[in-house]
Chains A and B, each alone.
Chain A
């Protein structure tokens, strides 16, 4: 679990908690003392209360489920498209020639700008949200996979050629495993991006989900609920990132690379 913290020692762990604790304490005092109205800024205790309340009434789960569904489905789609296309682009200059220009035209379009377009095409339901998440998360995975393949040392490529490893065998035995660290780094960036996009999409147009509830709470002045849902997003992001880092750590350790290389890939 060491990798979830960038500091190793116990003292380091304690040190890393100082600032968050001070902030929480400051926040609570501001709120309890009435310096700031609790409508604008409910204290951490009130937020936790709201969170527990949402949990016990089942509202939290009812909203978390659709969000997670859209998030994970869209994210999975981005991997399903991003990795193979990235591998192809990385291996073949000709494929790059065909595909990259088109992709580079799409890439500058922010996912948020496409939300109305996709709602128009796919309706207000889950399909449009899944599509927008997949679109947003596609780019880092595609780009990192392509770069990962292009960075395969010439020696390993030549060696594969001499061994008669080409075509599909080259993809599975050389390109994919060689690019794996880079692909995982891309996946981790995409995971964070996908979460941002799904929440944004839900805030713009939805009937359920964490993003929808945040807007809802804001409009009904349930500030504690609003902040509680924001805390939920943070926790989801933290857990997903932790899992992906664990996977990266495994891959790095298996190749004798150090954790510091993970840091530099961020």
Chain B
């Protein structure tokens, strides 16, 4: 069983691992996390998921095997409708695989695992709460009020929405809502961070700013990130590893380590190697699109 740590205690653990950034960059560091000897590790072992429909059992995901080590940044790339969101739901414990073994923090997952943050594809904000109140929701009643507020404001600042702290969701644009969601998930400093097309609703400039924020956070807290996107360039820029999924059912089309300096330099976007990587990954995507068009 995954033990329920007191949140304060957990934050402390994370702060400690944050101080180890230098060491971690040099190699994997033995983290003294007691119960969580493999905290942050996510592994898929021959994972399959099918849904029962009127047309019978429909496989959505089939035979996915991948081991995501703690503190790594992986993108899942695939055409829309291939099963990316479904895969994240499995990791978050919101749904269960019909085949295979899924391990979160090194343990076969049942129920909602501890220390997992999830930014859904659509903004899940509570309409009666202000932006700040939405951000602090996960830790409300668990840490002192003043500290809660400070931490909430800090995260809102991180996503550039400090000025909007008292606005309610209906007074925010789609992109702003998505950024409030990011602030909320950053607040808890989870060991596993699931992001489902989090920058889909953003304009190019805000998107780049948010990508930088996300990388900052990753450098500081070292969560295991699973970043779902359908944008090839975003995947190449942000992640150490890209898993491309095929369609109908989703299988691993390629599992590629983007062997470049990490975290990326802004100039990486504009160099030849970047577009080579994109072209390479795109070739795994293209057939799925065609198949989809053919029907």
Judge whether A155 and B124 touch: CB under 8 Å: yes
Residues of A within 8 A of B184 (CB): 163
Classify chain B's interface size. Answer: 20 to 34
Task: Tell whether A158 is near chain B: CB-to-CB under 8 Å.
Answer: yes
Judge whether B138 and A158 touch: CB under 8 Å: no
Q: Knowing A173-B137, A173-B140 are in contact, say whether A256-B118 is a contact too (CB < 8 A).
A: no
Q: How far is B171's CA from A251's CA once the two chains are assembled, in angstroms?
A: 15
Q: Knowing A158-B94, A162-B92, A162-B112 are in contact, say whether A180-B117 is a contact too (CB < 8 A).
A: no
Q: How many residues on the A side are at the interface (Cβ–Cβ under 8 A)?
A: 19
For residue B135, give the distance in angstroms from its CB to the closest CB of chain A.
11
Judge whether A155 and B168 touch: CB under 8 Å: no
Task: Tell whether B122 is near chain A: CB-to-CB under 8 Å.
Answer: yes
Task: Tell whether B277 is near chain A: CB-to-CB under 8 Å.
Answer: no
For residue A260, give the distance in angstroms from its CB to the closest CB of chain B.
15
Task: Tell whether B16 is near chain A: CB-to-CB under 8 Å.
Answer: no
Q: Knowing A173-B140, A255-B170, A256-B171 are in contact, say whether A162-B94 is a contact too (CB < 8 A).
A: yes
A155: contacting residue among B117, B122, B138, B141, CB under 8 A = B122
Judge whether A159 and B127 touch: CB under 8 Å: no
Q: Knowing A256-B170, A256-B171 are in contact, say whether A161-B94 is a contact too (CB < 8 A).
A: yes
Judge whether B124 and A159 touch: CB under 8 Å: yes
Residues of B within 8 A of A177 (CB): 126, 128
Chain A residue with the shortest CB-CB distance to B124:
A159
A interface majority secondary structure: helix
Judge whether B138 and A164 touch: CB under 8 Å: yes
Residues of B within 8 A of A164 (CB): 112, 114, 138
Task: Tell whether A47 is near chain B: CB-to-CB under 8 Å.
Answer: no
Judge whether B92 and A255 touch: CB under 8 Å: no
Task: Tell whether A3 is near chain B: CB-to-CB under 8 Å.
Answer: no
Q: Knowing A158-B120, A254-B168, A256-B171 are in contact, say whether A165-B126 is a contact too (CB < 8 A).
A: no
Task: Tell whether A32 is near chain B: CB-to-CB under 8 Å.
Answer: no
From residue 215 to 251 of chain B, which have CB atoms closer than 8 A to chain A? Answer: none
Task: Tell whether A265 is near chain B: CB-to-CB under 8 Å.
Answer: no
Q: Knowing A158-B124, A180-B128 are in contact, say whether A255-B168 is a contact too (CB < 8 A).
A: yes
Chain A residue with the shortest CB-CB distance to B128:
A177
Chain B residue with the shortest CB-CB distance to A158:
B94
Chain B residues at the A interface, C-beta cutoff of 8 Å:
92, 94, 112, 114, 116-118, 120, 122, 124, 126-128, 137-138, 140-141, 168-171, 184, 188
Supply 5 A–B pairs (Cβ within 8 Å), ascending by A: A159-B120, A163-B184, A178-B126, A254-B128, A255-B170
A-B contact sample (5 more), CB < 8 A, given A162-B94, A255-B168, A256-B170? A156-B126, A158-B124, A162-B118, A164-B138, A251-B128
Interface pairs A-B: 3 shortest CB-CB: A256-B170, A159-B124, A163-B138
